[in-house]
Amino acid sequence: MKAELQFDTTQMIDEITNRVIRALKPLIEQRKAVDDTIFTVETLAEYLSVSKQWIYERVSLKEIPHYKVGKFPRFKKREIDQWLDSQKIPASQLFSGRLVSMK
């Protein structure tokens, strides 16, 4: 005896799609909220693991993207992350995995 099941594939695909969207929506919203973070000098210094003085120096030299709220500098996380990526120094050589004797 052979049983055949009939499925409406379009309806199944729509249902799966809707479930995936419902599952991902909170994660996307949470990620967006993280990207909208505003740093103070103190919180940015902690985020970058540098001193507050270093942050103030970068601000005065206009080397780091920032906003002024009155006299207080503020920083958008998204822009800081982009700026940080622009500061990347590429490796000069690929590591071959072999140790070279320095005599």
Q: Are 80 and 47 in contact (CB under 8 A)?
A: yes
Q: CB under 8 Å to 40, separation ≥6 — which residues? A: 72, 74, 75
Query: Residue for token digits 């071959």?
Result: 96
Residue at 1: amino acid letter: M
| Direct distance between the N- and C-terminal alpha carbons of the chain, in angstroms, rounded to an integer | 81
Mean pLDDT along residues 64-78: 96
Domain 34-86 class in CATH: mainly alpha
**DSSP 3-state of 68:** strand
Q: Are 41 and 56 in contact (CB under 8 A)?
A: yes
What pTM did the predictor assign?
A: 0.58
pLDDT tens across 10-42, in order? 888 888 888 988 888 888 777 766 678 999 999
DSSP element (H, E) containing 33: helix 9-35
Integer Cα distance of 39 and 45 in angstroms: 9
